[in-house]
Homo-oligomer: A and B are copies of this chain.
Amino acid sequence: MKKITLGAYSYIYPMPVVIVGTLIDGSPNFLTVTYVGIVQHTPPMVSVTLVTRHTSNIGIEENKSFSINIPNTRMMNVTDFVGMNSGDKIDKASLFKVFYGELKNAPMIMETPLNLECKLVDIIDLKNGSEIYIGEIIQTYSEKKYIRKGYPYMKKLDPILFSINSNSYYNVGRRIGWAWKTGLKINASKYRKNQ
């Protein structure tokens, strides 16, 4: 093994792909985002980073809410389109059937298998033209066909993955193991401290 340096890059592979929904001057708008992630299990919280020039930022800050919609691979073209075009010029809401949940100001997409309705709890200004929005999830929406044993089922959700800098999309492969179980195959006693 001979390591090489690649330079300073945000190389986390892969990243999830979501569509963020906001209300702007009373109209729904959507933006594709891959700088997104879970930040807390309970209470459930997620983070979304947006560069400050986006119209979506105004909507989030005005309404103190947003939605996260998880598209499937059949929605790849429209998901990419929503990331390429500004809400100033394109009526992106007309691409989808829009619905509202408890908040009434966090528009969600009927066609995506999963929707997270979020209440804004914090904004972190990275001071380089981007802001992290922390949202607490107050409700999630799906359809029966995407659920197995009470949880969203990856193979049915069929989400899109993003590969940074090579700018490509991937799908999810197969289940390869169980978390908090496959690790039991390693004999912990061999690595115990102070024996």
How far apart sit A41 and B77, CA to CA, in the bound complex (Å)?
23
Is the Cβ of B35 less than 8 Å from the Cβ of A152?
no
User: CB within 8 A of A39: which of B79, B126, B142, B188?
Assistant: B126
Tell me the number of copies of this protein. 2
Is the Cβ of B12 less than 8 Å from the Cβ of A16?
yes
Interface residues on A, range: 35 or more
How far apart sit A178 and B101, CA to CA, in the bound complex (Å)?
33
Is the Cβ of A132 less than 8 Å from the Cβ of B49?
no
User: CB within 8 A of A8: which of B73, B139, B147?
Assistant: B139
Is the Cβ of A10 less than 8 Å from the Cβ of B144?
no
User: CB within 8 A of A137: which of B9, B43, B170, B193?
Assistant: B9
A164 and chain B: residue at smallest CB distance: B38
Contacts of A40 in B (CB 8 A): 10, 35, 49, 126, 128, 130
Given contacts A12-B36, A169-B179, A170-B173, 20 further A-B pairs with CB under 8 A are A4-B141, A5-B101, A6-B142, A8-B44, A10-B41, A12-B46, A14-B172, A37-B47, A39-B132, A40-B128, A43-B128, A81-B185, A91-B191, A152-B166, A153-B166, A154-B170, A161-B161, A169-B178, A170-B172, A170-B176
Chosen A-B contacts, 29 in total, with CB atoms closer than 8 Å, are A5-B140, A5-B141, A6-B140, A8-B139, A10-B39, A10-B45, A11-B70, A11-B140, A11-B152, A13-B114, A14-B172, A15-B16, A41-B164, A43-B128, A76-B177, A80-B179, A80-B183, A83-B179, A85-B183, A88-B193, A89-B193, A90-B193, A92-B191, A132-B134, A149-B166, A154-B166, A161-B161, A168-B177, A169-B179
A interface residues (Cβ-Cβ under 8 A, vs B): 1-16, 18, 34-47, 49, 68, 70, 73, 76-85, 88-92, 94-95, 97, 99, 101, 110-111, 114-116, 122, 124, 126, 128, 130, 132, 134, 136-144, 147-149, 151-154, 157, 159-186, 188, 191-193
